[in-house]
């Protein structure tokens, strides 16, 4: 009996650069369709704090994907399940229904997903069905280690190893799917999960690929010079597409490689800096794969789990609402509320403020970001928050405490970004915009709050707390 392969899809709603789908296609040949299963688990989404805007983007892409997949002969079935613990039953039923000898998947790296996949593999082994694992959400699979075989705990040596791996193995690619007889489009079941409008982000593979190509070819050269200036909005905003699997970072590497014959070397400074951000994303995915405790809300630096954080619910709410009295912090939080997205430099600034100035547990901020970001990444969001909190791998030293006013002066010098998002300060002169307290008093205004904390005193407080560890 010849092999017959199906695909178990997860956050990989694309036909291109999808190694699991490409491998199943090669096994089946052009005359047979590709059975595919998509399991959606709202309970697990809730546990991972999926933002309603991220879910809306996922559903919109799913609506486009079911049509595109059917046209390519992908026979897709979508099932809603209550728990990942029942995934084995669904995959078993899928394999039996289609007489599969192989099921192909793209790996997911958080610990619950790894445990789920091992359980499903055990079920399939009893049926003598092979589970074939691919790595379609990263450019370099989580196999690079130090010379002693340990996971990299610092980004710089990891990045060197990452580049060396790509130079040796090349940019990963998968062949386009051959034309097959069309299948019936899948029915999308009703799913009870809150949604928030994501229409500012286009869906459909062709649209997303064009956004990627336009950014790399026309804007990436400016990335190094402009990436920290939130008013310029010079970042790609492609991160939301990585997270729902509309694009694979394989595709980013492929477009970047067209700019340099020695890729991943030889890029101009802007494109190379943008590539470094993709490597950071992979660094955090590798860590999530290798260090299970990161999936359970524990600090990478174990001793920092003993930190005595302040249980300041009122202060946390003021941070969430963008009413801290520090204009750049408030602008970032209000952008998040309005768009479901925040500029990367501002993400670092608001995170530092919560953890260092307010001495509030980084896990509170990590969860709030996930609950609101369209590009919320379980791995990258955890890594970024632990970096800011000085609790993670390659973290900012605990004594590095961002001064929110100086950060504002440096990265939004004329206050354009602040004025866009903090309506109370739209008429504030540039010389007062970063510390508007006295100007507001002179105007007799109380519509914007005074700073909720003295930064110098807060810095001394957090340094003392870290030294006590």
Point out the catalytic residue in the list 84, 201, 250, 280: 280
DSSP 231-271: GG--S---HHHHHHTSS-HHHHHHHHHTT-TTTTSS--HHH
Point out the catalytic residue in the list 344, 409, 424, 439: 344
Say whether 158 counts as a known binding-site residue.
no
Is residue 84 annotated as a catalytic residue, yes or no? Answer: no
Say whether 277 counts as a known binding-site residue.
yes
Q: How many CB atoms lie within 10 A of CB 208?
A: 23
Say whether 237 counts as a known binding-site residue.
yes
Is residue 344 annotated as a catalytic residue, yes or no? Answer: yes
Say whether 283 counts as a known binding-site residue.
yes
Phi, psi (deg, nearest 5) at residue 258? -70, -15
Closest CA to 359 of 394, 406, 391, 405: 391
Is residue 28 annotated as a catalytic residue, yes or no? Answer: no
Say whether 236 counts as a known binding-site residue.
yes
Point out the catalytic residue in the list 250, 341, 362, 364: 362
Q: How many CB atoms lie within 10 A of CB 307?
A: 21
Say whether 398 counts as a known binding-site residue.
no
Is residue 280 annotated as a catalytic residue, yes or no? Answer: yes
Is residue 362 annotated as a catalytic residue, yes or no? Answer: yes
Point out the catalytic residue in the list 26, 63, 79, 277: 277
Say whether 284 counts as a known binding-site residue.
yes
Point out the catalytic residue in the list 309, 409, 424, 439: 309
Is residue 385 annotated as a catalytic residue, yes or no? Answer: yes
Measured over the CA atoms of residue 190, residue 41, residue 316 and residue 423, the dihedral's sign is: negative
Residues in the chain: 469
Say whether 280 counts as a known binding-site residue.
yes
Please, are residues 286 and 135 in contact by the beta-carbon 8 Å criterion? no
- Residue 425 to residue 417: CA distance in whole angstroms: 11
Q: Give the contacts of 207 (CB within 8 A, at least 6 positions apart).
A: none
Q: Which residue has the tokens 């009870």?
A: 192
Please, are residues 274 and 280 in contact by the beta-carbon 8 Å criterion? no
Point out the catalytic residue in the list 84, 162, 319, 385: 385
Say whether 177 counts as a known binding-site residue.
no
DSSP 337-402: HHHS---HHHHHHHHHIIIIIS---HHHHHHHHHHH-TT--HHHHHHHHHHHHT-STTPPPTT---
Say whether 281 counts as a known binding-site residue.
yes
Which residues does the annotation place in the binding site? 223, 235-239, 274, 277-284
Question: Annotated binding site for FAD, which residues?
Answer: 223, 235-239, 274, 277-284
Active site amino acids? 277, 280, 309, 344, 362, 385
């Amino acid at each position: 009996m010849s092999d017959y392969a199906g695909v178990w899809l997860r956050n990989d709603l694309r036909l291109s650069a999808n190694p699991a789908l490409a491998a199943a296609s090669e096994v089946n040949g052009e005359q047979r369709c590709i059975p595919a299963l998509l399991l959606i688990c709202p309970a697990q989404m809730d546990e991972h704090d999926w933002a309603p805007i991220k879910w809306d983007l996922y559903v919109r892409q799913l609506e486009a994907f079911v049509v595109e997949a059917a046209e390519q002969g992908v026979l897709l079935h979508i099932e809603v399940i209550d728990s990942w613990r029942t995934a084995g039953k669904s995959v078993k039923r899928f394999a039996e229904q289609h007489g599969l000898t192989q099921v192909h998947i793209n790996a997911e790296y958080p610990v619950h997903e790894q445990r789920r996949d091992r359980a499903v593999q055990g079920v399939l082994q009893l049926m003598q069905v092979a589970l074939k694992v691919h790595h379609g959400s990263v450019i370099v699979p989580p196999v690079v280690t130090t010379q002693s075989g340990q996971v990299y705990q610092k980004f710089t040596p990891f990045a060197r190893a990452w580049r060396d791996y790509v130079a040796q193995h090349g940019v990963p690619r998968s062949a386009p799917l051959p034309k097959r007889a069309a299948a019936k489009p899948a029915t999308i079941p009703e799913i009870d999960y809150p949604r928030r409008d994501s229409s500012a982000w286009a869906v459909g593979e062709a649209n997303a690929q064009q956004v990627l190509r336009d950014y790399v070819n026309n804007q990436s050269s400016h990335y190094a010079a402009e990436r920290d200036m939130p008013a310029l909005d010079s970042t790609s905003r492609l991160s939301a597409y990585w997270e729902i699997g509309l694009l694979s970072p394989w595709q980013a590497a492929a477009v970047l490689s067209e700019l340099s014959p020695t890729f991943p070397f030889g890029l101009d400074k802007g494109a190379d800096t943008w590539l470094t951000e993709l490597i950071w994303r992979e660094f955090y995915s590798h860590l999530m794969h290798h260090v299970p405790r990161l999936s359970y809300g524990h600090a990478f630096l174990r001793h920092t789990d003993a930190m005595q954080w302040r249980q300041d619910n009122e202060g946390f709410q003021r941070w969430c609402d963008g009413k801290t009295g520090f204009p750049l912090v408030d602008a970032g939080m209000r952008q998040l509320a309005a768009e479901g997205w925040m500029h990367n430099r501002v993400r670092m600034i608001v995170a530092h403020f919560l953890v260092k100035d307010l001495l509030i547990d980084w896990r509170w901020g990590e969860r709030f970001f996930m609950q609101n970001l369209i590009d919320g990444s379980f791995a990258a969001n955890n890594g970024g928050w632990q970096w800011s909190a000085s609790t993670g791998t390659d973290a900012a030293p605990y004594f590095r405490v961002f001064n929110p006013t100086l950060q504002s002066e440096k990265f939004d010098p004329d206050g354009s970004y602040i004025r866009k998002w903090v309506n109370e300060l739209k008429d504030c002169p540039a010389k007062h915009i970063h510390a508007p307290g006295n100007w507001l008093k002179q105007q007799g205004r109380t519509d914007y709050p005074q700073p909720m904390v003295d930064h110098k005193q807060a810095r001394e407080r957090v340094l003392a707390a870290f030294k006590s560890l």
